[in-house]
Structure 1
């Protein structure tokens, strides 16, 4: 591979920009200005959520916007600070920083670099498939837990009540006990801003509700204040762009950041791919997961080097440009220019923003990600999966977001293993109306062949389910009417076999020979399965197991055998 082709593979966005059409400029420009305006309050709010001064939100978005435009495969994904990633990072770093603000900021930047390293190593190992690790029920539950955690984290800034607890339920209890400490002015500013954001989201989604709400609150507080602000405000915001450099942390610090970084990679990458795919499918292009892992790594690399913190993507900043007709990632470049202009010329205005207004922005984001329709959908489809979602949510609420990630991943793995351990299986019968063999339980018209049992097992056959496979075959032979002479195992759903499965199959063949099953065959097995059966000496001529390409071929052989007897 030449240097040019390697660069093209690393930066697929460049190819899109090279084919840029003049007619795309207007929608891309308008969408970019809109996203840039959205980023002003969101970046500041999510930086505070991460436990950092508001300006760090801008530091965390400048590089990622430009880098993703070049390295990402989505033309619409809105990268940058995101509430779930911010609170997950804050949860992990707070336990290491020891209350030192300078060390906290350095650790946050270092965490972004560790996330970057994990992503790039994962991409080199072709681990893009990890986007599928979190199942829908677990993801719904995890996101709900994050949303409720976000809500509880903003109670103090939104109401003026001093709260020291750092998890959901203790915060709730403390708030109830301290209701007398609510500051009317702070609550009024926060509630008013939230009403504007939610109202505009419902009445006119294309309007920048967060920006309008925060701007209105800032103007109101400034107009009513006489010297001293009426409510707590952001305060001094340094002018200028961030300086580039490596954070001052030790190798031991990096080791302690690894578990937090792993959680951020898993959750952030999953969210990126799901969000990007939801938009790409509607606009006629595709997402390449492994390249998205590269892009997530590079965006976090630039954030860490710019004194930022770990970043991911925002669903709202992805949907808005798509709804405005944007065509390419030029949107991100224009948005970056808006952020640069804000840092250079509007730092004085940013300093007057009420903290309660930023809290309202976070609360609005939290309300948006609490997926009540998702629970309804799960309940209709599978109550077991709905319960799984509830458990995942409680994992986040009872412990913290990092442990919630571990709970979510563990539940996903347990659920997957459970399905593989007890997969669907069926006895098949001949159904001439559909010209094939179908499940006799689902199609009462299907007729089993006298003397022949056709059994299907719908999962890879390995150590976790091998005993169940043997048990279910023996039960099917006992329950099926008549005396079976042949047993045909439909292996279309058995993608692979491990050593345990081969041993179990060998033992089953010996057992079936003792109960006078004349012949056992497999049908529709793939080449890998057939090869493993042959190497284990289970297939004829060295073994007793016969192989047929189709069920019908096996049935014809059985019928011919019956006629010849």
Structure 2
């Protein structure tokens, strides 16, 4: 049978049971609570995604579109009962921070690139599902992500100061924007500033009273009413202007006149953050709410949500931590509430977009300003400083990179720092020696020179996967242990239970280690060798060098063999 046909059949089998995992089975007793939660979510999400559209440099309607089709697609294909998909501040800021370097926000070239970013992110996510690459998100460390999002939050808040004060500011990155803002501060429009302050107070006060109160919606409705009764334009207050009505329709993004390097960079940056943030959020809420989760199904749902976002005139969507928390607070316990939200938003875009044209830009700027501040994760930064001071420095480096050099460099530094953390943990593992403790039980302890498992015997465990970067460390440590053994060591048992596989460099090191130990009259014994690892040893010829008589299934078998060797 053709391999392509087999692969398609495998994918089809993986799709069985996938549809509506986050919705089914329906609990009839939950219908009314889910209905109410969906309406509350719509009331909060609509002004929020309008703010995200502003962060992304996109027309307001494109933000609203993110909570119609993309949200509904994830309900069909995702597995999480709680993860909410839609526009998110992190990916919106990444997209804007990179695309703005080559195109004017809101221009045809800019919007075309934004649609393509969503579409191509979707393609990458679907490929990640096909090849089960959801684990990629694990390589963006929590430390780097906290620093990155905090920096993005600061940058987002700074970017809104001009609009909140009624000023025109220049610059893309934070420092030029601040300087431009300060130089034009004398031209502040007091009416615009009053609207901004009023919106901030409404949202903050209602949030303090009860998080379920849609403070942003109240502020939006209130300022639209004021704009209707008073001619804000005569006061120098700028308005959002015309917003198209109707549900989104299918379109094909244009590839003409685009900067493909910038497009590729944006797609890769958004792809990494989408997986990292979405998977982390779905995991957190599956544990919190005791639900089952299939991360790869969620990756598929995110992929098709983004493809449809790009094909329906919207921008990149993400598994949003803020929206998910809002949904849980509103009482949502399944994706039924999400479908209700999408239905409510459809009604809004068909019948109620005209009043939005009267919305002051200062209202959206104030909402976005608060969204940015909420991204500043002081709690997590304090926890990192308290628990891992060295990693706190890396988080601050990431944060400062975003603020001073921009989102693109922030993404690059985040990935580099994540890789450094991964390498540092795998390169310097805390290895162990097996001894009998005070109770006479076997226990692993950190390596201490001169300590034996039994006289003439040491069981040594290397507590990480073995690969080119740490192979030399294993050999040096083993040789050091042998040289510091008095009386002389007879057997060294290498417990390889921590190895899932080895690379070429590691195999060559093991061959060399075997030769060196033979010269020192020490028998090298290996235990807990998984079948896949054994096959690698056989292919490489290491098994012949080691000798099958020096391979044991478990540590106890090897110890017994040592004790009965004479």
The aligned residue for residue 54 of structure 2 is 48
Residues 270-310 of structure 1 show CA distances to partners (whole Å, capped at 9, x for unaligned) of 21121122222233322222222211121112222221111
The aligned residue for residue 389 of structure 2 is 383
Question: Which TM-score applies when normalising by structure 2?
Answer: 0.91
Question: Within 1, Cα distance between the matches of 2:112 and 2:25?
Answer: 40
TM alignment of 1:203-222, pairs within 5 A: 203-222=209-228
2:456 is the alignment partner of 1:451: yes
2:559 is the alignment partner of 1:555: yes
Answer with 371-380 or 219-228: which moved more.
219-228
Answer with 109-118 or 249-258: which moved more.
249-258
Of residues 330, 352, 361, the one that matches 1:355 is: 361
2:127 is the alignment partner of 1:130: no
Question: Within 2, Cα distance between the matches of 1:419 and 1:18?
Answer: 41
2:467 is the alignment partner of 1:462: yes
1:334: Cα distance to partner? 1.4
Question: Within 2, Cα distance between the matches of 1:153 and 1:431?
Answer: 60
Residues 402-423 of structure 1 show CA distances to partners (whole Å, capped at 9, x for unaligned) of 3322221122122212222222
Give the secondary structure class of the aligned counterpart of 1:152.
helix
Question: Within 2, Cα distance between the matches of 1:72 and 1:167?
Answer: 36
Residues 191-244 of structure 1 show CA distances to partners (whole Å, capped at 9, x for unaligned) of 221222223223311111221233233334544547735622212222323332
The aligned residue for residue 429 of structure 1 is 435
Question: Within 2, Cα distance between the matches of 1:71 and 1:287?
Answer: 12
The aligned residue for residue 547 of structure 2 is 543
Whether contact under 8 Å (1:60, 1:306) holds in the other structure is no
Of residues 504, 516, 519, the one that matches 1:511 is: 516
Whether contact under 8 Å (1:113, 1:300) holds in the other structure is yes
The aligned residue for residue 185 of structure 1 is 191
Question: Within 1, Cα distance between the matches of 2:437 and 2:502?
Answer: 29
**Cα–Cα, structure 1 residues 11 and 345, in superposed 2: closer, same or farther, change >3 Å?**
farther
Residues 151-197 of structure 1 show CA distances to partners (whole Å, capped at 9, x for unaligned) of 11111112223220111222223333333233322222212212222
Answer with 311-320 or 16-25: which moved more.
16-25
Whether contact under 8 Å (1:33, 1:338) holds in the other structure is yes
Question: Within 2, Cα distance between the matches of 1:227 and 1:359?
Answer: 17
Give the secondary structure class of the aligned counterpart of 1:14.
coil
2:201 is the alignment partner of 1:195: yes
The aligned residue for residue 481 of structure 2 is 476
Question: Within 2, Cα distance between the matches of 1:96 and 1:233?
Answer: 26
1:390: Cα distance to partner? 1.5
**Cα–Cα, structure 1 residues 68 and 100, in superposed 2: closer, same or farther, change >3 Å?**
closer
The aligned residue for residue 77 of structure 2 is 71
1:33: Cα distance to partner? 0.5
Whether contact under 8 Å (2:173, 2:405) holds in the other structure is yes
Give structure 1 stretches of 5+ with no counterpart.
none
Give the secondary structure class of the aligned counterpart of 2:433.
strand
Question: Within 1, Cα distance between the matches of 2:169 and 2:195?
Answer: 19
TM alignment of 1:339-354, pairs within 5 A: 339-354=345-360
Of residues 293, 317, 322, the one that matches 1:287 is: 293
Residues 378-403 of structure 1 show CA distances to partners (whole Å, capped at 9, x for unaligned) of 12222122122112222322322233
Whether contact under 8 Å (1:39, 1:339) holds in the other structure is no
1:481: Cα distance to partner? 4.0
Whether contact under 8 Å (2:302, 2:319) holds in the other structure is no
Whether contact under 8 Å (1:60, 1:304) holds in the other structure is no
Give the secondary structure class of the aligned counterpart of 1:97.
coil
Question: Within 2, Cα distance between the matches of 1:434 and 1:90?
Answer: 63
2:536 is the alignment partner of 1:532: yes
Residues 130-150 of structure 1 show CA distances to partners (whole Å, capped at 9, x for unaligned) of 121211111111111111111
Q: Report the aligned-residue RMSD.
A: 2.9
Give the secondary structure class of the aligned counterpart of 2:435.
strand
2:204 is the alignment partner of 1:166: no
**Cα–Cα, structure 1 residues 553 and 247, in superposed 2: closer, same or farther, change >3 Å?**
closer
Whether contact under 8 Å (1:427, 1:440) holds in the other structure is yes
Residues 112-141 of structure 1 show CA distances to partners (whole Å, capped at 9, x for unaligned) of 212222222222222222121211111111
2:513 is the alignment partner of 1:499: no
Runs of 4+ in 1 over 6 A off after TM superposition: 441-444
Answer with 146-155 or 308-317: which moved more.
308-317
